Amino acid sequence: MSILLLTSVSTEEETMWLNQLRSALPEEDVTLLAELNDRADVDIAIVANPPQEVLRTLPKLKMIQSLWAGVDALLGDPTLPENVPLVRLIDPTLSASMAEATATHVLALHRDLPRYAKQQQRQEWQQHELLRSSDRTIGILGLGEMGVASAQQLRALGFNVRGWSRSLKSIEGIKCFAGQERLKEFLQGLDILVNLLPLTPETMGILSKDLFFQLPKGTGLINFGRGGHQIEGDVVAALDDGQLSHAVLDVFSQEPLPADNPLWRHPKITLLPHVAAPTNQKTAVEIVARNIKNYRRTGLLPKQVERSVGY
Ligand code: NDP
Ligand code: OXD
């Protein structure tokens, strides 16, 4: 059987993936669509934003392995075959990278860096009160691979940390909340809100004016989840009237963000080009190769995406 690598990344990047996968799986036939003789030979597809229509033409497909952690785009593809198990990338290196990004930007807001940057432009020497990290409460939406690593990192920096998830968790040092009915309580008293949810029908548009008005005035927002979580107009309105003090946005409904999008120029937005936690090719290949070798040896598939809930 063959393994098909199916992506819409640049040819150069795809070739790097192909070469690394081939050397990590020397006993396998890892191939690109253009080199494939018979689609019935493929039983595993390794995908990164794959073109639509192809996966459903592979009659013997047994597993789709994503090279990304978030599978919202894949699940949004109406041509995705229904009954083929879908496995997303779960990589401790990715979680550590996300925890680092979360800590970086929480510390930047905690230390008032956007405000001092503006003062520098005006050559204005003015000191503001410095709070202790233990005087701040940070809330994390989503307590999965990314959320837990980030929560623990923030805790280690001395912040009070809360987390919100669908099912209730118990994590040392983190105050956990679960479900829609505890969301309001979770949001009350936060200084900074970090979004690390997957994009699903339930979480789409969660970063809206309704949610912002449940936060204390002047809360900082960090969105590292997906662009579909934020209602852009509501974010801008909340920044303009001071309900939000500053927003760090890494993800957008349309990526790359078009040059004429006003978010680029908003003085209270730090804008990043989807770089919070990029897939690390080396560790991702190791994990994917391990998943495939294990599947070949035991017939067991890795943990699968629950399609009915969307993550
Ligand atoms: P996980 O699936 O491990 O965790 C998802 C978390 O969200 C879980 O705690 C889950 O709750 C919670 N959740 C899901 N739906 C709801 C809901 N309706 N209400 C409350 N909580 C909910 O995902 P990861 O942590 O691995 O990744 C999260 C997202 O981060 C990805 O889907 C992707 O969009 C984004 N990401 C962004 C990157 C970037 O560079 N910007 C890089 C990598 C990922 P429960 O635990 O109860 O199931
Ligand atoms: C991912 C991402 O989902 O890079 O892996 O956003």
Domain with CATH 3.40.50.720 in the chain: 2-91+279-298, 92-271
**Residue 226 appears among annotated catalytic residues:** yes
182 labelled catalytic: no
* Beta pairing partners, 98: none
- Ligand 2: atom nearest CA of 70 is 3
227 lines ligand 1 (CB under 6 A): no
Look at residue 14 in the predicted model and tell me its pLDDT: 97
What predicted TM-score, i.e. pTM, was given to this entire model? Answer: 0.97
Burial (0-12, 13-18, 19+ Cβ within 10 Å), 169: middle
Of 115, 155, 182, 274, which is the active-site residue? Answer: 274
How many angstroms does the Cα of residue 39 sit away from the middle of ligand 2?
Answer: 28
pLDDT score of 279: 96
- Residue 41 is predicted with a pLDDT of 97
| CATH architecture, range 2-91+279-298 | 3-Layer(aba) Sandwich (3.40)
* Ligand 2 and 69: CB distance under 6 A: yes
Tell me what pLDDT residue 3 has. Answer: 98
What is the CATH number assigned to the segment(s) 92-271?
3.40.50.720
DSSP 31-72: EEGGG-S-GGGEEEEEEESPPTTSGGG-TT--EEEESSS--H
Query: Catalytic pick from 88, 105, 136, 226?
Result: 226
Q: What is the pLDDT of residue 258?
A: 98
> What is the distance in A from the centroid of ligand 1 to the CA of 306?
12
Q: How far apart are CA 239 and CA 60, in angstroms?
A: 51
| Distance (Å) from CA 254 to ligand 2 centroid | 14
- CB atoms inside a 10 Å sphere around CB 123: 6
Q: Is 44 in the pocket of ligand 1 (CB under 6 A)?
A: no
116 lines ligand 2 (CB under 6 A): no
User: What does the pLDDT read at residue 247?
Assistant: 98
User: 74 CB less than 6 Å from ligand 1?
Assistant: no
Q: Whose CA is nearest to atom 36 of ligand 1?
A: 225
| Tokens read off for 141 | 């939406």
Name the residue of 68, 91, 98, 255 to mutate for ligand 2: max ligand atoms within 8 A of Cβ: 68
Q: Counting atoms of ligand 1 from 1, which one is nearest the CA of 311?
A: 2
Taking only the tens of pLDDT, the chain with its 311 residues reads 999 999 999 999 999 999 999 999 999 999 999 999 999 999 999 999 999 999 999 999 999 999 999 999 999 999 999 999 999 999 999 999 999 999 999 999 999 999 999 999 999 999 999 999 999 999 999 999 999 999 999 999 999 999 999 999 999 999 999 999 999 999 999 999 999 999 999 999 999 999 999 999 999 999 999 999 999 999 999 999 999 999 999 999 999 999 999 999 999 999 999 999 999 999 999 999 999 999 999 999 999 999 999 99
Contact between 213 and 237 (Cβ < 8 Å): no
